[in-house]
Amino acid sequence: MKLTQLGLMLLAVVGICAQSAVAQEWGTVKGRFVVSGDVAALPAMEVTKDAEFCGPKLPDPSILVGEKNGLQNVALWLYLDRGDKAPPVHPDYAAAAKAPVVVDNKACLYDPHVAMVVVGQPVEFTNSDPIPHNFKVEGFANAGMNNLVPVGGVFEHKFDSEERYPMNASCSIHPWMSAKIVVRELPYMAVTGEDGSFEIKNLPVGEHKLQVWHEVPGTIKEMTIGGKKVKDRKGLLEITVKAGDNDLGDIAIDAGDLK
């Protein structure tokens, strides 16, 4: 049986698509942010309400340096230049985007201090304290919210638009409380843990840019990676992702820049 010209074209298209699907590879990027030098200890925050539960003072979570100088709460996300085409998203992220992100009130502080959220993902603002709190969240692309969350309460919310930079979260009842919420279209983002480590799973192989941010001072414009100093006014870190694990090692930020 002879194939028609249309049939041959269809087979060619199917073959190209099959090759494209097979060719798509993924890589996981990991690393650790560390502080180079000594960071001056931040003064404790004064408690002005509900001190009988919260205590007279609380540690300031704006800068947290752990063991081996690991810097906590550094946020990274995939950065696209204007006009860039968004990369493919690994199928594993579909289920993750449906799972709620929990931002809790614990001992009169927010937990986590920096939350990572995909556009449209449910966020559960909860209150584990025996006193009422409220969540006041302000951004640019999303409408602000200001909701009371009673003891044991949960307020669910979804952010409809990507935010260029982290949103501010605060409590009108307890003015020392603050947190940041990163809202991005693409799930390729991470925040460093207590030891300064991070991991972004299943990035498409190829050249990418990550934007690096910390509450103090904001955009990280200078860092040292592999002994080489990187400077960028937008805080961009250019990486090459290969299939499998990609360990960037320690990424150092000068202590003098954390102010």
Interatomic CA distance for residues 47 and 102, integer angstroms: 24
CA within 13 Å, CB half, 253: 28
25-87+188-258 against 90-185: fold identical: yes
Average pLDDT value over all residues in the chain: 92
| Cα 96 → chain centroid | 14
In CATH terms, the fold of domain 90-185 is Immunoglobulin-like (2.60.40)
Interatomic CA distance for residues 194 and 17, integer angstroms: 43
In this predicted structure, the answer to whether residue 10 has a pLDDT above a threshold of 60 is: no
Question: What pLDDT score was predicted for residue 104?
Answer: 98
Question: What pLDDT score was predicted for residue 11?
Answer: 39
Question: Domain-by-domain residue ranges, the chain?
Answer: 25-87+188-258, 90-185
Q: Which residue has the higher pLDDT, 11 or 111?
A: 111
Interatomic CA distance for residues 168 and 103, integer angstroms: 13
Q: Which H or E element spans position 230?
A: strand 228-231
Interatomic CA distance for residues 105 and 126, integer angstroms: 6
164-208 pLDDT, tens digit each: 999 999 999 999 999 999 999 999 999 999 999 999 999 999 999
In CATH terms, the fold of domain 25-87+188-258 is Immunoglobulin-like (2.60.40)
Question: Residue 243 is which amino acid?
Answer: A
DSSP calls for 208-220: EEEEEEETTTEE-
- 90, with CB counted inside 10 A (0-12, 13-18, 19+), is middle
Q: Which whole number is the average pLDDT over 68-84?
A: 96
